[in-house]
Copies of this chain bind each other. A is one copy, B any other.
Amino acid sequence: MHRDPPRIVIDRAVYSLPDFDREFDKKNRHFPIDEKVKKVFRCSVSRLRGLLLRLLPVLSWMPRYRVRENLLCDVISGVSAGTIQVPQGMAFALLANLPAVNGLYSSFFPLIPYFFMGTVHQMVPGTFAVLSIMVGIVCSDLAPESDFSHFNVTLNATQVDLERMNEVRLVISGTLACLTALIQIGLGFLQFGFVAIYLSESFVRGFMTAAGLQILISVLKYIFGIHVPAYSGPLAVIYTLSDIICGLPKTNVASLVFALVSAVVLIVVKELSARYRHKLPFPLPVEIIVVIVATAISGPLNLPAIYHMDKVGEIQLGFPAPIVPTVSQWSYMFGTAFSLAIVGYVINLAMGRTLAAKHGYDVDPNQEMLALGCSNFFGSFFKIHVICCALSVTLAVDSAGGTSQFASLCVMLVVMLTMLVLGAFLKPLPKSVLGALIAVNLKNTLLQLSDPYYLWKKSKSDCFVWVVSFLATFFLSLPYGVAVGVSTSILVVIFKTQFRNGSAITQIAETGIYKNPKVYSKATSITGVKIVNYCSPIYFANAEIFRQRVIQKTGFDPVKLLLTRQKFLEKERRGQAQEEKQEHARRRTITSLVTMKTQTISQLDLQNDFDLEDGSACPAEPPLSYINFGCRDGEGPDQRENQEPAGPTLQSHPVPFHTLVLDMAGVCFIDLMGIKVLMKMNTSYKKLGIRLYLANIQAQVHQELEEGGAFEDGHVSRSDIFLSVHDAVLFAQKTATERTKEANVAQEHDFDFTDETDLEKKMF
């Protein structure tokens, strides 16, 4: 900090908001809705051109593409990334319970629309494990193996018609992709790209970790070469795990060996290439090498047949014939499709934003949603499963210096080559190799299991969201996990606004700064003025809590006090009327005092009633508070409202404060319920002769108060709003002194109640 700090010297008048607005020329700013609507629907050539450029970003980047500088980089990075895309796509097709060729389709067709529509230059769309496993559940649910198995008498065994099953599942997968795509396109056109922000980072990490664990468990069957039935719904992962553990004795050793060797090679090469990253021009395509070597060993030696290993099998060469989605299945798929649409989009956007920040361009969230939707839509007719961003492929493109979608064009070429020619050679590749490939890729995801430990230290609520998202995703299922996680993140926000603690504040020395005196010991107390701050929006879910906090911090509930007083006065009046009838002459003598005493006792009774009820509901409220207030004066609140707000009597009796200042700086919005509570508080304090001042109101909150009618019909007076707490306090102090003077004059008139007050004082 600086040695010789500058000083603040201010000398200005105390401002209430209307004064301030008058003195400094407040302008009225209007934003009429019809103009906004007009603006949205205005039509012009430049707008149309802008729209076209937005919908097809290729039109803006292609003409400016510098071939000489970037093309070589793009081609190299694209081809090397393509060699990752091919094995990964095939592996993830296994997760989706689909034939390997589906992975190739998914790695090819969606890239075509994205080339024209994508706004992230380095992005390569493709398969993503979490989405694949969600698709897999739907596939095995709608087309279970049992539907395609029949008992072959000659072989004396149950046989599964794999070919027909795969055919049916491919159509299901396409149907699901089509529905997902339509949801994404719809959300994109409605400019609902912002739904992504409801997925808080804590949720996404918890969800991804749980999904990673589920993926690991589901590839174990390929690694160990065991056959386990498919489960779905809550706890499916537990059943699968127990089946795998039970099946361990039947492990296919050849599969396991293939998996372990591949895994070791993958891990070692990846670690090495990470270490010598700077010396390599592009990342080593170790995946494709492992796949080629495994195929080369397994094929010629005919190992799958000898050791009964699961192999990838026939890959249909050529482009697939387009299909029509089975719309009738959509009603069953809707929940999963919605989860897929949102999760896919969020992954895509997160990756896109990271790349954009790295390279300094912007990502249009809505356009990205549209691009992803169109990619899925186009692909869905060619039997793909839902895709989003192919994480490791995109990273490979980026780290090899790719700068544009031309890189993803090269990825497409590599995939097409495999699809049309090379696929035929991959037939003998053991599935366990692909399983190992998936498992190795999960490393980073599973490292996130330590997240809660770090989160707990930094923020309990974020930790809570993580854990809930993780548990819901892992034990229930992925779509449930999305629903539970998102609701939890949102509810946590609501919670945070609910359980904020208001605090009484007071001036620190003579600085004009107001802070909680419990925190700063050098606080000066201000007689007659109570200041409470509250740091949260005031709306339906916490309006009542806000009122309770103010009651707690000020020490009494104005409504109850008014009621107590009213009841007492009614009785008193009734009592007096009786007395007047019975003993006309002896008014204001000892008898009267005795009657008053019993009345006071019954009032006490009533208060005890309250205190007991209070004790359970909010024990922090000091019960003595409204005993002090007892029966201060002889006026009913109805009579009083026509007078000056009870200035005189306030000064002649022991009152804890004459002004309550609410510091509204932390109130960032207020809804109708909040306004209602504020108006009610204002009314009841007014009846007690206490002024309610509002200070530090945010401009937007002021507007909400205005629109909500807080200033109508004399609810809250505009001149009770002050620019700062200090303004309000100084004003209150000054007017209070003036009120005291008036009170001294007025006091003589209500002397007949003073003995009553004395009586009360003696009783306590």
Contact = CB atoms under 8 A, between A and B. Distances in A.
Given A667-B668, A668-B667, A672-B201, A27 B519 contact: yes
A513 interface: yes
Interface of A: 1-2, 5-16, 18-20, 23-27, 29, 50, 53-54, 60-61, 64, 119, 194, 197-202, 357, 359-364, 367, 455, 457-459, 461-462, 489-491, 493-494, 496-498, 500-501, 503, 508-513, 515-516, 518-523, 535-537, 539-542, 544-545, 559-560, 563-564, 567, 605, 609-610, 612-618, 665-669, 671-673, 696, 698-701, 704, 707-709, 719, 723-724, 726-727, 730-731, 733-735
A27 B521 CA distance: 7
16 contacts: A6-B14, A10-B510, A20-B508, A24-B520, A24-B522, A64-B609, A201-B673, A360-B560, A361-B610, A362-B610, A364-B616, A489-B540, A493-B494, A493-B537, A501-B700, A513-B724
Q: Sorted from nearest, which 3 A-B pairs have the closest CB atoms?
A: A200-B540, A360-B563, A665-B665
Given A1-B19, A200-B541, A698 B666 contact: yes
B500 A494 contact: no
A726 B7 CA distance: 10
Nearest to A511: B12
A17 to B, nearest CB: 10
A20 B514 CA distance: 12
Contacts of A536: 668-669
A519 B698 CA distance: 13
A44 B430 CA distance: 68
Contact of A666 (B54, B668, B726): B668
B357 A27 contact: no
Nearest to A704: B459
Given A362-B617, A458-B708, A459-B671, 7 more contacts: A5-B731, A8-B726, A198-B541, A357-B559, A360-B563, A535-B669, A535-B700
A519 B10 contact: no
Contact of A12 (B54, B512, B672): B512
Q: Which of A194, A518, A671 has the most CB of B within 10 A?
A: A671
Given A13-B8, A518-B29, A665-B665, A612 B60 contact: yes
Nearest to A28: B519
Contacts of A7: 11-14, 730
B462 A512 contact: no
Contacts of A459: 671-672, 704, 707-708
A564 B359 CA distance: 9
A217 to B, nearest CB: 27
A53 B29 CA distance: 57
Given A18-B1, A497-B668, A616-B54, A734 B6 contact: yes
B727 A8 contact: yes
Contacts of A455: 672
Contacts of A731: 2, 5-6
B613 A119 contact: yes
A429 B40 CA distance: 62
A18 to B, nearest CB: 7
Contact of A563 (B359, B508, B719): B359
A110 to B, nearest CB: 23
A119 B503 CA distance: 29
A53 B201 contact: no
B493 A730 contact: no
Q: Which of A53, A197, A200 has the most CB of B within 10 A?
A: A197
Q: Which of A2, A363, A516 has the most CB of B within 10 A?
A: A2
Given A1-B19, A512-B8, A494 B198 contact: yes
A602 B12 CA distance: 54
Contacts of A699: 503, 515-516, 519, 535
A519 B26 contact: yes
B5 A673 contact: no
Contacts of A24: 508-509, 515, 520-523
Contacts of A5: 13-15, 19, 731, 734
Contacts of A50: 615-616
B668 A362 contact: no
A52 to B, nearest CB: 11
A673 B196 CA distance: 14
Contacts of A198: 494, 540-541
B610 A672 contact: no
B462 A496 contact: no
A119 B605 CA distance: 18
Nearest to A699: B516
B18 A8 contact: no
A493 B10 contact: no
Nearest to A503: B699
A375 B499 CA distance: 30
Contacts of A494: 198, 490, 493
Contact of A512 (B10, B523, B733): B10
Contacts of A668: 497, 500, 535-537, 666-668
Contact of A362 (B493, B614, B734): B614
B498 A612 contact: no
Contacts of A357: 559
A101 to B, nearest CB: 37
Contact of A462 (B563, B672, B727): B672
Contacts of A23: 522
Contacts of A491: 490
A700 B500 contact: yes
A194 B498 CA distance: 10
Contacts of A2: 731, 734-735
